[in-house]
Structure 1
Amino acid sequence: MAQPIPFPTQEPQEGLSLPQNVEAEAALLGAMMIDNRVAEDVLQKIRPEHFFEPLHGRIYEQIAHLVGDNRLATPVTLRPLFANDPAMKELGGPAYLAQLTGNPASLIGARSFADQIYDLAQLRALVDVGRGMVEGALDTSQDINPSKQIEQAELRLYQVAEQGDSEAGVKSFTRAATLAVKQAEKAMNSGGGISGITTGLSDLNASTGGFNRSDLLILAGRPGMGKTSLATNIAFNAAKRYMDDLDAGIAEEKSIGAPVAFFSLEMSADQLAMRILSEQAEVVSEKLRTGQLSNAEFQKFARAAGDLERLPLYIDDTPGLTIAALRTRARRLKRQHKIGMVIVDYLQLLTGSAKASGDGRVQEISEISRGLKTLAKELHVPVLALSQLSRAVESREDKRPQLSDLRESGSIEQDADIVLFVYRDEYYHDFKAPTKIPDGTETAEERMAYEEWQARQLEVANKATVIIAKQRHGATGSVHMRFDRQFTKFSDLAPEGY
């Protein structure tokens, strides 16, 4: 009669019986050694630290190493690797490896064993997070800061939720190449050359390929250029495309739209919603604020509000957010609403940690820009952050912004994958209007000056330029588009002569 396998055990910590199934671990290891193809199925999901028994984790690691080198992993080939392992000696030496393969029926349930081992590891991680929360809450020897403890707990919970994501962490070149091919296929199938999230603006999409995941994008400009308007246009277009794609039966992963989180540190949520509805209903926002609407305009506005009630656009208008708090809220929105893009309006209104603040504003902005880039990589979404420009622009004859105009820190330029500037010649041209309007009493020179100004006004009216000053994935250049001042709405510019 066969002797039962002496499965190793681990003492429960602090009297707690931690979630575990050592028998399932042993059965999975046995199946992997009987048929190495099983290892190929589970290596993407299970890591050595997922095993409750440390010895099992070491055996799994060596099996993975041998299989990865295209060598056979059996009790015989593994035996020399564990000849001096103390835990193995307690179980009778390397003969334990042969005992693990004593049940060929384990091959049938190998995948189920792997799933159970992973789930139990997740539960143990949750127990660890919970223990840390309790200890932190009970420890009053340090400065009491519940908000910081909540942020840390949410970060750890998010890490537990994401640790099984096969796309996180170290990737082999094969896997990275597969992801690149999928991205190229998505761009090809989109019909518009878009590999990331659509901006809803064809010419901008053509120049950037859409907003790619894990990218930090900076959208900068002087006041009055339309930064917030462009950001709200992009947010609406991405969220609307996602909603339309789902309605059309297109799978989430194939959509070039995305649910959007908009952190508005300058405007309230209702002001932002009013602006978006004004843009889409094409009703002048000033009329909405003053109530001077015709019945037809109100109907258009109400219809737009009804059409967009399901729009996956989430606005957080909490003022004075720290970069840590913003990242915590973004993680929560990712978990709850599967957001695919984050927009921050605007970067200089965020605050850094107390330490960074004490080191000066430049260091604080550096911390914020690094935090936003980390957030983009952590959530695997594009982060679009609006930024102010320094007043140096106004002192130049040519008002077009440059990278050196980014306010307060060169780290913004360094951390960003793409830097976009919004520039409207019309804004500055309005200030050059002649004081003398032709009325029959003007001189010939005054009439000529007015006619030249008017001709130029016709050229620049309702036009804007988005300058791509930096782009890691492509070329720099300028994208010309239409800007309707009445509704603060950006759209594609009609071709020349249209």
Structure 2
Amino acid sequence: MNHFDQPDDFERQPPCDIDAEMAVLGSMLLSQHVIDRMIAIVEPAAFYRPQHQTVFTAITDLYGRSRNPKIDPITVGAELERLGELTKIGGQPYLHRLVAAVPTVANAEQYGEIVRDKAMLRAVIETATRAAARAYAQQDEAVEILDDAMAEFQGAATGASPLEVKLSVGDRWATFLDELEAGKDPNALDTPWHDLNDVVELKPGQLVTVGAATGGGKSLFGMNLAAHVALTRCRPALVASMEMGGSELMARLTAAEAMVDLDRLVRRKLTDYDWAKVVKVSDRMQNARNFILDDSPNLTLSKIRARLRWMAGHGNPAAIVVADYLQLMTPEGSSSQANRAQEVAVISRGLKLMAMEFEIPVIALAQFNRNAAGREPTVTDFKDSSAIEQDSNVIVLMHKPPPPDPEVPESKRERDRSGEIDLIVAKNRNGISGRIIPLIFQGHYGRLQSLGREY
């Protein structure tokens, strides 16, 4: 028996299929046509045996170096000898043994999938073991251990290389024509405000920043938008709230959906009429499993990313993320000399990269500086950082019109807009900028409403 066939000295051997590993490598040595497919299905680390990782790397390196590669046991053996690895893998005879281990090259893809699946099982075990060790050590917070573990579990589930990556113009052209014919981007999301939809589309990979002064309605905007996506469009949505707890978020959501006074909901002083309204939306809310409200303390970019992976792992990949609000996020790995503007810039860039990584729009709510109070805001009014303007694809500024000046004669006064709020589209990388969309501000119901139309 070859020394590589000796069983491991463990009570329980980690999941692996040595026969499948040998069949994958043997198929690659027999037929160059399967090498591209194997590269797409498995990575070197997917092989349980170190010598199999070495052989796989040697084959793929040799294959990628030449326009007309010659792959067989002799050429791969020469490559391994050049690298000083031939003896470590069992010598030239072991390469011939790999070839002999192939039942049929036609099933190479299935062998690769077996190897990949076993590697995923080992990754699950390793992640669980690390999490258990950290929990026993009690050196980290439980929430942090859970979030890190969820991110690793999801990485194990989706970490395999994609079978096909379509990046060329030729690959993209048919899809683009379909979008043109449909008259819209099928991957874009709308908002609950029809006038805003005429100007802005929420596209995958976009960072959309919504700014307002303290108490200016940005949280209402975020919750209304997320509720529209989750409850009306039936797409999974995540609200990562650093400002409000779950109970307060639920009160705002219920007020907006049931049209019940928010103050009575918060104080738990509902009338019989209020209860009747709540009961009407109860089934809808009970079934809103795809609407995630994450009020975990000290939310960071990695924790939000872990939550997104967790959602994907449960079959509900998020269609949108609302982060409320940007300047309250906890920075990660910040140096002691970094100022707050630098930290916010890192967070802003991280949210943009998150949008691109998960191919969803990320809505970042942000607060204005104090000097923006009492006047129409501009993109330079964001608190702590100007990088927000650079990273954002779309910027919407919220502004409550001032009350009419009592010193001005009534006949010359502007219309009283005390019940309205303006959405100023200050930046729109793929559309019209400078438009002002007025909405009705229904703070007592925790909602914003389009003028002249219910949503």
TM-score by length of 2: 0.80
Please state if 1:434 is matched with 2:406. Answer: yes
Provide the C-alpha distance between the structure 2 equivalents of 1:358 and 1:231, rounded to a whole number of angstroms.
33
Deviation track 1:381-438 (CA, whole Å, cap 9, x = no partner) reads: 332221110022236xxx222221110123333443433212233xx1x1x3416xxx
- Tell me which of 201, 210, 214 is aligned to 1:219: 210
CA contact (8 A) 1:8 1:22 kept: no
Letter matched to residue 284 of structure 2: D
RMSD: 4.0
- Tell me which of 210, 235, 252 is aligned to 1:275: 252
Ranges in structure 1 where 5+ consecutive residues have no aligned partner: 244-257, 436-445
Counting only pairs closer than 5 Å after superposition, residues 323-472 of structure 1 correspond to structure 2 as 324-336=302-314, 337-353=316-332, 356=335, 359-394=338-373, 399-425=375-401, 428=402, 430=403, 432-434=404-406, 449-453=409-413, 455-457=414-416, 460=417, 463-472=420-429
Please state if 1:43 is matched with 2:39. Answer: yes
Alpha-carbon distance, 1:220 to partner = 0.8
CA contact (8 A) 2:52 2:89 kept: no
Provide the C-alpha distance between the structure 1 equivalents of 2:438 and 2:3, rounded to a whole number of angstroms.
69
Alpha-carbon distance, 1:452 to partner = 2.2
- Tell me which of 171, 180, 187 is aligned to 1:195: 187
**In structure 2, do the counterparts of structure 1 residues 332 and 198 end up closer, same or farther at CA, with 3 Å as the change threshold?**
same
**In structure 2, do the counterparts of structure 1 residues 391 and 118 end up closer, same or farther at CA, with 3 Å as the change threshold?**
same
Please state if 1:101 is matched with 2:99. Answer: yes
CA contact (8 A) 1:49 1:57 kept: yes
**In structure 2, do the counterparts of structure 1 residues 125 and 102 end up closer, same or farther at CA, with 3 Å as the change threshold?**
same
Provide the C-alpha distance between the structure 1 equivalents of 2:248 and 2:254, rounded to a whole number of angstroms.
10
Q: Which moved more, 1:278-287 or 1:407-416?
A: 278-287
Provide the C-alpha distance between the structure 2 equivalents of 1:391 and 1:222, rounded to a whole number of angstroms.
8
Q: Which moved more, 1:115-124 or 1:416-425?
A: 416-425
Provide the C-alpha distance between the structure 1 equivalents of 2:48 and 2:110, rounded to a whole number of angstroms.
16
Letter matched to residue 456 of structure 1: R
SS of residue in 1 equivalent to 2:204: coil
Please state if 1:33 is matched with 2:29. Answer: yes
**In structure 2, do the counterparts of structure 1 residues 363 and 482 end up closer, same or farther at CA, with 3 Å as the change threshold?**
closer
Alpha-carbon distance, 1:288 to partner = 5.2
Provide the C-alpha distance between the structure 2 equivalents of 1:294 and 1:190, rounded to a whole number of angstroms.
47
SS of residue in 1 equivalent to 2:40: coil
CA contact (8 A) 1:198 1:211 kept: no
CA contact (8 A) 1:195 1:209 kept: no
Alpha-carbon distance, 1:360 to partner = 4.1
**In structure 2, do the counterparts of structure 1 residues 176 and 405 end up closer, same or farther at CA, with 3 Å as the change threshold?**
farther
SS of residue in 1 equivalent to 2:293: strand
- 2:16: which partner in 1? 20
**In structure 2, do the counterparts of structure 1 residues 299 and 17 end up closer, same or farther at CA, with 3 Å as the change threshold?**
closer
Provide the C-alpha distance between the structure 1 equivalents of 2:140 and 2:71, rounded to a whole number of angstroms.
53
**In structure 2, do the counterparts of structure 1 residues 152 and 11 end up closer, same or farther at CA, with 3 Å as the change threshold?**
farther
SS of residue in 2 equivalent to 1:23: helix
Alpha-carbon distance, 1:234 to partner = 0.8
Counting only pairs closer than 5 Å after superposition, residues 17-416 of structure 1 correspond to structure 2 as 17-64=13-60, 71-75=68-72, 78=76, 80-89=78-87, 93-94=91-92, 96-102=94-100, 105-133=103-131, 136=134, 144-147=139-142, 148-164=144-160, 166=162, 174-175=166-167, 184=176, 187=179, 192-213=184-205, 215-243=206-234, 258-286=235-263, 291=269, 295=273, 298-311=275-288, 312-322=290-300, 324-336=302-314, 337-353=316-332, 356=335, 359-394=338-373, 399-416=375-392
**In structure 2, do the counterparts of structure 1 residues 424 and 360 end up closer, same or farther at CA, with 3 Å as the change threshold?**
same
Q: Which moved more, 1:384-393 or 1:265-274?
A: 265-274
Letter matched to residue 347 of structure 2: I
**In structure 2, do the counterparts of structure 1 residues 164 and 207 end up closer, same or farther at CA, with 3 Å as the change threshold?**
farther
**In structure 2, do the counterparts of structure 1 residues 184 and 62 end up closer, same or farther at CA, with 3 Å as the change threshold?**
farther
Letter matched to residue 326 of structure 2: L
Alpha-carbon distance, 1:44 to partner = 1.9
Alpha-carbon distance, 1:187 to partner = 4.8
- 1:443: which partner in 2? none
Q: Which moved more, 1:355-364 or 1:261-270?
A: 355-364
SS of residue in 2 equivalent to 1:84: helix
- Which fold has the larger relative contact order, with Cα–Cα distance below 8 Å and residues 6 or more apart in sequence? 2
**In structure 2, do the counterparts of structure 1 residues 182 and 7 end up closer, same or farther at CA, with 3 Å as the change threshold?**
farther
Letter matched to residue 450 of structure 1: E
SS of residue in 2 equivalent to 1:270: helix
**In structure 2, do the counterparts of structure 1 residues 72 and 153 end up closer, same or farther at CA, with 3 Å as the change threshold?**
same
Alpha-carbon distance, 1:339 to partner = 2.8
CA contact (8 A) 1:9 1:53 kept: no
Alpha-carbon distance, 1:368 to partner = 3.5
Q: Which moved more, 1:194-203 or 1:284-293?
A: 284-293
SS of residue in 2 equivalent to 1:422: strand
Letter matched to residue 190 of structure 2: T
Letter matched to residue 340 of structure 1: A
Q: Rg bigger for which structure?
A: 1
Ranges in structure 2 where 5+ consecutive residues have no aligned partner: none
Provide the C-alpha distance between the structure 2 equivalents of 1:370 and 1:209, rounded to a whole number of angstroms.
21
SS of residue in 2 equivalent to 1:225: coil
Provide the C-alpha distance between the structure 2 equivalents of 1:476 and 1:98, rounded to a whole number of angstroms.
66
